[in-house]
Amino acid sequence: MKTYDFIIVGSGIAGLSYALRACRHGRVAILTKREAENANTAWAQGGIACVQSPEDSFDRHVADTLDAGAGLCPESVVRTIVSEGPAAIDELIQWGVAFDHRENGAGEDELDLGREGGHTKRRILHSKDTTGREIETKLLAAVRAAENIDLYERHFAIDLITTRKLAFASSVRCVGIYALNEESGEVLTFRSDRVVLCTGGSGRVYLYTTNPKVATGDGVAMAWRAGAEIANMEFVQFHPTCLYHHEVKSFLITEAMRGEGARLVDREGRDFVKDYDPRGSLAPRDIVARAIDREIKRTGSPCVYLDITHQPKEFIAERFPNIYETCLRLGIDAATDPIPVVPAAHYQCGGVRTDVNGATSLPGLWAVGEVACTGLHGANRLASNSLLEGVVVSRRALDDALHRAPLDRPTEALVLPEWESGDVTDVDELVVIYHNWDEIRRLMWDYVSIVRTTKRLQRAATRLQNLRREVQEFYWNFRVTTELLELRNLVEVATLIVDCAARRRESRGLHYTLDYPETDDRAWKKDTVLSRF
């Protein structure tokens, strides 16, 4: 059994920033199921939203977030995270993160702030169009150089350990975690009074997504099995502009491009989004994604187009080098050709239910970032608020952990039960796992995506029930592998999304159902909360 003061699961902005602060207080373990740099954060293009200009204000940022969140954002949570943003940005810069600057009219150097959909002011700090990669690279370098941090790469967190496993426990709390060493096949036991989930989202539960392969909802599934409350999983954000190309399936075209004047048009070049919202291409993501979905279904076209050809080639190549080069390699010159795009699953606004400090309903467990539901995003996330939430709430979560479980209090000498493999064998038919994986993702795309109906949700629930039985049979009868564990988590998260969506009998934000097309504030201006115990 390996004992630490802090155990962090995940190596994105939330987990790494938490670790860099926590290592000043005690020993830290970071578990990550692939290489550490393979995190959702590294894929973020647009940037991080934070008030930095005298023309902007916290009140404006709060108002924009509340507007996008469609009535479900607690204003106190939004105001706390927004107002603590500048201090968190200063920390990122101290850790080496380099944001783009420009020369202002007075010849002075200042941050080059971008604008994205739903924002009324320029407040997006960025590093070209690879902001997430810049943040991930610099924070990971700082973690590797820090003392007191042990980084366990290719260690897949299987399940949380709670005192329910200990016969003599008087109260239920989280006390550790089981993790699979993917290289040796051994399952290790980790012990801590402060376990923090920073595992990101669950985009891979859908057939089409902008997320990396690691985004299989592991943290939400683990927390649910351990008894933590889950909230608002029906609110899955579909990014309006994923590149439509047969060679590249998950390449995001950042919303910052629309912030620089790019317009969504049909094949005739018509700016169709204005038919749905006067803000056009800069409307919040839920509105734009539904507009594209309706337009594709109405016209039978396979995609729509993002047109930034009004900007000079030099500007596009300088501001969006990664996107420009990727498109050019595929035969699309963004300076002269509109870019073909479609919506794709992008971000989960729900997750493990927490307060603004990342504390879950299960003592000893905190959750930060996309895995968590603080309420900041409500029914629809405002663009670039996610990285902000991760870095701000990670600091609050550490302070909360030190308050609830002070380090000067001796760690209880619990002996946790070792992992029991039982009489199991290696999986002999991986094809069955891959088939179930594909079936989950396809049925979620067909029945539980941008537009839903009660009948579609019922069909999804029925099939998922059967799939869960099949997956559980595999789990108990075969030796655990990465593929099997991810499948187990995918089917769990898919079921939670469908359950939440079936309960919400209205349309709000990212949840749109043809059977209840109106918003019902009187009955449904509240979170959808699921509790297992």
Burial 485-511 (b: 16+ CB within 10 A, else e): bbbbbbbbbbbbbbbbbbebebbbbbb
Using only the alpha carbons of the chain, give its radius of gyration: 22
DSSP string, 250-315: S-B--THHHHTT-EEE-TT---GGGGT-TTGGGS-HHHHHHHHHHHHHHH--S-EEEE-TTS-HHH
Token pair 């088939």 in the structure block, residue: 435
Residues 6+ apart with CB under 8 A from 58: 51, 79, 82, 83
Distances in whole angstroms, Cα of residue 492 to Cα of each of 238, 269, 288: 20, 42, 29
Could you tell me if 176 and 150 are in contact, meaning their C-beta atoms sit under 8 angstroms apart? no
Pick the closest to residue 72 from 451, 509, 507, 513 (CA basis).
509
Pick the closest to residue 396 from 85, 160, 147, 176 (CA basis).
85
Residues 6+ apart with CB under 8 A from 118: 64, 67, 68, 282, 283, 284, 285, 382, 383
Tokens in use for 502?
């079936």
- Distance of alpha carbon 207 from alpha carbon 255, whole angstroms: 21
Could you tell me if 350 and 500 are in contact, meaning their C-beta atoms sit under 8 angstroms apart? yes
Question: Quick check: is 267 catalytic?
Answer: no
Give the dihedral sign, CA 264/270/272/275. Answer: positive
Share in percent of the chain as helix, strand, coil (round to 5): 40, 20, 45
Distances in whole angstroms, Cα of residue 15 to Cα of each of 45, 210, 218, 359, 379: 19, 21, 15, 15, 24
**Of 133, 258, 285, 353, catalytic:** 285
First to last CA, the chain: 28
Burial 28-56 (b: 16+ CB within 10 A, else e): bbbbbbbebbbbbbbbbbbbbbbbbeeeb
Torsions phi, psi for 25 (to 5 deg): -110, -25
Torsions phi, psi for 4 (to 5 deg): -135, 160
- Distance of alpha carbon 520 from alpha carbon 64, whole angstroms: 21
Tokens in use for 532?
């297992």
How many other C-beta atoms can be found within 10 angstroms of the C-beta atom of residue 430?
12
Name the residues annotated as catalytic: 285
